[in-house]
Amino acid sequence: MIGRSGAASDVRPDGARAWWKEAVIYEIYPRSFKDQNGDGIGDIPGIIDKLPYIRDLGADTIWLAPIFQSPNRDNGYDISDYKAIMPEFGTMSDFDRLMARASALGIRIILDLVVNHTSDQHPWFQKSRASKDSPYRDYYIWRDSAHGHPPNNWPSAWGGSAWTFEQSAGSSYLHLFSRYQPDLNWDNPAVREEVFSIMKFWLDKGVSGFRMDAITMISKMPSFRDMSPEELKAPEYVYAAGPHLHDYLREMNDRVLSHYDVMTVGEAYGMRAQDIPLFTDSARRELDMVFAFDIVHVDRQGWRKVAWPLSKLKEIYAAAGRPSSPDSWNTVFLDNHDQPRAVSRFGNDTPPFREASAKAIATMLLTQCGTPFIYQGEELGMTNLPFDGLDDFEDVQVPIEWDAKVKRQGVDPEAFFESLKGLGRDNARSPMQWDTTRNAGFTTAHKPWYRVNPNYTEINAQDCLQKPDSVYHHFRDLIAVRRKYPALVHGAYQDLDPNHSAVFFYSRQLDKSKVLVLINMSDRGFTYESPLLATASLVISNMKHHGVAKGVTWLEPWEARVYAA
Ligand code: GLC
Ligand code: CA
């Protein structure tokens, strides 16, 4: 049993060995995980059913994407009541049952805190838009402008203006995402109090922390001046440069977080790698970890999907492996609900490489520096979806981006669609593939809320659980290896062959314990030589081992091995 966090204690054991540094975290997108009542939508009782599956995998912490009341314009990332469960997902008593069952299995739960913005259906916004005299007016960011023109040239994260004019309100409100997601005004102390109260509400129910959505964007540039053409190329860096961001995070830590033994991970959209310790250096008392975007952006330039050399990935991991502050901690992730499937972008999802490459990149995920995050289905090697046309997309972002890029900026529709297929967020959001029955066993409803990937007859949990050499079992074994070798959690990182174009070879070392990781990140086989291999002993590998003679070995395509040196 995991003890309740309890508001009373003022001590946070965030020393060198805090639990969240050793955790392996599994993200659930509840809508697509498991439908228990047969309405086509995943729900909390479905999650409860599958807790043993997650425990058997070896993950010890679950991050739940938003489960709160929401009109679902952005699938829960538009919240209309922060203290109520979305009825489609169940009731508060279902949630309490989930907490109790998870705790009994030794699993912690963290929630998604989405407080850069609310839904436009939130009562605060309803009152804010209704009258200039409402005490809720300043909960949001309103600006007057002539003829309802946008008050400045700021774009939303997905394209188009970040402002929407409200006839009834007589002014425009700011939304850095869709118009259904008005931004909260964090400069108003009453807003911050509301957020702290929401956080305490859930922490007092025993949740073990938060993933903080778009948290770098909460402090706005006070002048609201136009952005320069240069700034407009990457507006997220301007949004993340608000003058009070760190003040607000510190206040949140003082007022709430420091009173509980919990973890936080912030979505660091628009943050440069070198600025990350400003959030995560424990002496600064802000956040514990952040998600940096460098890795999941290697294959994109703006909307365009581009080829990437392995050297780029190596550089990013090497930089993350030598943080400018020793008291700062990383995350490692290749997949989440906003990203295409990892095997389809970092591996090779076509036969005969899918399984080997899914295991190879899993090896990377679980041996790099930082707390690893696995996204539902990644442990099965689930792949991207097939898309035939724009209608196959469900994501609110797609029509907004299409409008901005294709209709207004004249981007070639074919090229845009091609990139969208590879990069679109819907790739991650199709239902979890449980078995070979209709709808992949996700729901008994005639139609699930979103398409099941037709490859579920081949790729599904039931099949993976039956086969000892499946992707699932490799994940499970890698997690066990990670727990056995503290060097993989706490060890120093060294890239042992930074210039090789196909082999990723690195070490993690803690005191005298050294672990070597050798991965062929390509579709080719070849011989590889390193004197380090001559004396190392194999810990785990994703295929039948070819053996090493005098430091020389043959590597199959996507072969991945971990050695104790
Ligand atoms: C974050 C979420 C994403 C959401 C956006 C707006 O990036 O991960 O899913 O659409 O914030 O809340
Ligand atoms: Ca349901």
In what helix (H) or strand (E) does residue 549 lie, and over which residues does it extend? Answer: strand 548-549
DSSP secondary structure, 37-73, as one string:
SSSSS--HHHHHHTHHHHHHHT--EEEEPP-EE---T
b/e code 492-531 from CB counts within 10 Å (16+ = b): ebbbeeeebeebbbbbbbeeeebbbbbbbbbeeeeebebe
pLDDT at 13: 47
The residues assigned a catalytic role are 213, 267
Residue 6 lies in a domain: no
Share of the chain above pLDDT 70, in %: 97
From atom 12 of ligand 1, which residue's Cα is the shortest distance away?
A: 77
DSSP secondary structure letter of residue 216: G
**Pocket-testing residue among 27, 77, 80, 335, ligand 1, by greatest number of atoms within 8 A of Cβ:** 77
**Averaged pLDDT, 256-275:** 94
pLDDT of residue 15: 57
Q: Is the CB of 114 under 6 A from ligand 1?
A: yes
Whether 401 lines ligand 1, by a CB cut-off of 6 Å, is no
- Arithmetic mean of pLDDT over the chain: 95
Q: In a mutational test of the pocket of ligand 1, which residue from 212, 213, 239 has the highest number of ligand atoms less than 8 Å from its CB?
A: 213
- 44 CA distance to ligand 2 middle (Å): 8
**Ligand 1 near 77 CB (within 6 A):** yes
Closest ligand to the CA of 211:
1
Reported as a single tens digit per residue, the pLDDT across 40-63 is 999 999 999 999 999 999 999 999
Same domain, 246 and 192: yes
Q: At which of 174, 209, 242 does a domain end?
A: 174
Pocket test for ligand 1, best of 158, 177, 216 (most atoms within 8 A of CB): 177
Total domains, the chain? 3
Q: Sign of the CA dihedral 482, 484, 486, 488?
A: negative
User: Are 467 and 508 in a shared domain?
Assistant: no
Token representation of residue 105: 């299995």
My answer on whether 62 and 204 are in the same domain is yes
Q: Is the domain of 221 the same as that of 316?
A: yes
| Position 66 in a domain | yes
Is the CB of 378 within 6 Å of ligand 1? no
Q: For ligand 1, is residue 177 a contact (CB within 6 Å)?
A: yes
Task: Give the model's pLDDT for residue 16.
Answer: 63
Tell how far CA 432 is from the center of its chain.
17
476 C-alpha vs ligand 2 centroid, how far in Å?
Answer: 28
Q: Do 263 and 355 reside in the same domain of the chain?
A: yes
Strands 331-333, 304-305: pairing kind: unpaired
Q: Which atom of ligand 1 is nearest to the CA of 77?
A: 12
Pair 322, 204 in one domain: yes
Q: Within a domain: residue 252?
A: yes
For residues 357 and 315, membership in a common domain is answered with: yes
CATH of the domain at 513: 2.60.40.1180
Ligand 1 atom at minimal distance to the Cα of residue 337 = 9
Q: In the predicted model, is pLDDT for residue 11 greater than 60?
A: no
What angle, 0 to 180 degrees and rounded to 10, lies between the N-to-C axes of helices 245-255 and 189-203? 40
Does ligand 1 come within 6 angstroms of the Cβ of 63? no
- Structural domain range at position 162: 123-174
What does the DSSP 8-state code read for residue 406?
I
State which amino acid sits at residue 257: L
How many residues can be counted in the chain?
565
Name which of 130, 103, 118, 9 is nearest 71 in CA terms. Answer: 118
Return the pLDDT at 545: 79
Cα–Cα distance list, 546 to 79, 314, 395, 422, 426 (Å): 53, 25, 45, 34, 39
Ligand 1, atom 9: closest residue by C-alpha = 338
- Indicate if 290 and 360 belong to the same structural domain: yes
Backbone angles phi, psi at 468, to 5 degrees: -65, -25
From the alpha carbon of 338, which atom of ligand 1 is closest?
Answer: 9
Question: What would the two tokens of residue 547 be?
Answer: 């053996």
Ligand 1 contact via 47 beta carbon (within 6 Å): no
State the pTM of this model: 0.96
pLDDT-derived band at 322 (thresholds 50, 70, 90) equals confident
Residue owning tokens 């299409």: 402
Based on the fold, state whether residues 553 and 465 are members of the same structural domain.
no
Question: Identity (one letter) of the amino acid at 413?
Answer: P
| Tokens 């591996």, residue located | 347
Inter-CA distances, 195 with 113, 249, 451, 525, Å: 9, 11, 35, 54
Mean pLDDT (whole number) for 482-489: 97
Does residue 268 have its Cβ closer than 6 Å to ligand 1? Answer: no
CB of residue 286 inside a 6 A radius of ligand 1: no
**Ligand 1 centre from 495 Cα, in Å?**
33
Of the given ranges (37-51, 386-400, 541-555), which has the lowest mean pLDDT?
Answer: 541-555
Decide: 120 in ligand 1 pocket, CB within 6 A.
no
In a domain, 41, yes or no: yes
Q: Ligand 1, closest atom to CA 74?
A: 10
How many whole angstroms from 157 Cα to the centroid of ligand 1? 10
Give the lowest-confidence range in 211-220, 320-329, 490-499.
320-329
The answer to the question of residue 245 being in a domain is yes
Q: Tell me: the pLDDT tens digits for 209-221?
A: 999 999 999 999 9
Per-residue model confidence (pLDDT) at position 10: 37
pLDDT class for 323, splitting at 50, 70, 90?
Answer: confident
Model pLDDT, residue 327: 84
Nearest residue CA, atom 6 of ligand 1?
77
Half-sphere exposure of 280 (CA within 13 A, CB side): 31
End-of-domain residue from the set 477, 511, 535: 477
